[in-house]
Amino acid sequence: MTFTRYALYYAPPAGAEWTAFAIRWLGWDMETGAVKPHPAVPDVDVRSVTDTPRKYGLHGTMKPPFRLAEGQSFDALQAACAQLAAHQKTVVLDGLEIARLGRFLALRPLGDTQALNNLAAACVQDLDAFRAPAAEAELARRRAAGLSPAQESNLLQWGYPYVLDQFRFHITLTGRLDKSTLTGVETALEQQLVPLLPTPFTIQDLALMGEAEDGRFHLIQRYALSA
């Protein structure tokens, strides 16, 4: 399979009940590369509300998608991911909760996130040599959202605004929704997903992802963090 971009994600464990529900919720299993039927949720058009995040799969971004820099190889990227993971410890947080991030819904971690933030920063910084510079069109698209000075600085240095001190770990569950739809979907997820969420919430590995020619992200390999 040929990939146009790569990313480093937190990918929830395949065997967990909450993972299985959330994968069906989004309708795309990035680990198996399979489309999944959405769950039946009263009064919610699940396909519509998950259309935007579907292609990315169920994940928390650690290093945002990037094109491979000239002179770098896929094999070298894999080796660097393995080395990175071997030097990072498992992260344990209190749990997860449904949160509104603007007009979309996501899972956010509960508890002290410093270790998680440090892990994400290491992913961004340690693998940056593999990232090709962002194209001008991509920079313009990011700036169109309105960036703070810190976010603009991150965009120029790291290719993405919301990293390092601007990073907020989240697992996206919907696209942008109007207020009435947002409330209904939030209620449905509180009822069907929240009871399945893990306590504690543990990050034990990092997942190297690839964006295929179909525009969807596929899991390439998991790299276990050190104990």
For residue 80, the model assigns a pLDDT of 98
Parse the chain into domains and list their residue ranges: 3-224
For residue 180, the model assigns a pLDDT of 86
Q: What is the pTM of this model?
A: 0.95
For residue 63, the model assigns a pLDDT of 98
Query: For 19-35, how does the pLDDT look when each residue is reduced to its tens digit (9 = 90+)?
Result: 999 999 999 999 999 99
For residue 227, the model assigns a pLDDT of 67
Instruction: With a cut of 50, list the residues of the chain below it in pLDDT.
Output: none
**Six-digit token string for 19:** 């993972």
DSSP codes of every residue in 31-63: TTTEE-PPPP-TT--HHHHTTTTGGG-S-EEEE
The answer regarding whether domain 3-224 maps to CATH 3.40.50.800 reads no
Nearest Cα neighbor of 167 from 122, 129, 226 is 122
First-to-last C-alpha distance (Å) of the chain: 32
Per the DSSP assignment, residues forming a β-bridge with 172 are 106
